[in-house]
Amino acid sequence: MGKRREKVRIWFIGRRWWSVCACLCLAAVMFYVVNYPAAIGASASTRQLPIYCVQRDQKLVAISFDAAWGNEDTQQLIDILEQYKVPATFFVVGEWVDKYPESVKALHDAGHEVMNHSNTHAHYPQLSADEVTADLNACNDKIEAVTGVRPTLVRLPYGDYDDKSINAVRSIGMEPIQWDVETSAT
């Protein structure tokens, strides 16, 4: 019986191929090293953000006001908005509701949304999550007692927030709202 011979092939890779492979490996390592911190940072945590704007097909403007101090101009503002058939959202502080329940009722009766701007106008990042939800619920209770409607939105005092604040807001079924264009009264 004859033995079968197998042919062994040996491949030689020339210097040129080694150079190309080495360059490709070096490029891959450099890409990894340069992008590794950004990739880890992006995937490690996503910052919680309030709603700044809502994408719509139509061109729309949402007008909102914060009510935290006096109420001397409230009726005039209601009249101007009515004259131009402009609905608005009023973010009211619970202490303002305590002082001016008739203004809160007038806003609601005029067809405007009355939403939460905190109970005490505290800096939420300085509070615990439980303190944030307690403050929100206290204001919600006051607004609901006057209008019959429980708020679902909150404008955070001072526009100040952190992940804990946003998570606390959402934990009670509310959405935090921010502004994306600010005006000032002159």
**126-154 tens-digit pLDDT:** 999 999 999 999 999 999 999 999 999 99
Q: Is the pLDDT of residue 100 over 70?
A: yes
Q: Supply the pLDDT for residue 101.
A: 98
Residues 106 and 147 in one domain: yes
135 or 50, which is more confident: 135
CATH code (residue 145): 3.20.20.370
Do 28 and 110 have their domain in common? no
Whether 34 has a pLDDT exceeding 80, the answer reads no
Residue 64, H or E segment: strand 64-67
Residue 57 forms part of a structural domain: no
Shared domain for 40 and 70, answered yes or no, is: no
- Tell me the average pLDDT of the chain: 84
Residue 20 domain-assigned (yes or no): yes
pLDDT given at position 31: 64
Do 120 and 154 lie in one domain? The reply is: yes
User: pLDDT-based confidence at 3, cuts 50/70/90?
Assistant: low
Mean pLDDT value of segment 6-21: 61
Q: Do 84 and 162 fall into the same domain?
A: yes
Domain count, the chain: 2
Is residue 22 predicted with pLDDT exceeding 70?
no
Average pLDDT of 16-27? 67
Query: Across residues 32-59, what is the average pLDDT?
Result: 67
Are 37 and 85 found together in one domain? Answer: no
Residue 84 banded pLDDT, cuts 50, 70, 90: very high
Q: Which residues contact 124 (CB under 8 A, 6 or more apart)?
A: 118, 132, 135, 156, 157, 160, 161, 162, 165, 168
The domain of 156 spans 64-177
Q: Of how many residues is the chain composed?
A: 186
Residue 136 is assigned to a structural domain of this protein:
yes
Contacts 24+ apart (CB under 8 A), 135-138: 135/94, 136/168, 136/169, 136/172, 136/174, 137/172, 138/94
Res 157 pLDDT > 90: yes
Q: Are residues 96 and 134 in the same domain?
A: yes
Residues 115 and 23 in one domain: no
Q: Which pLDDT band holds residue 163 (cuts at 50, 70, 90)?
A: very high
Residue 160: inside a domain, yes or no?
yes
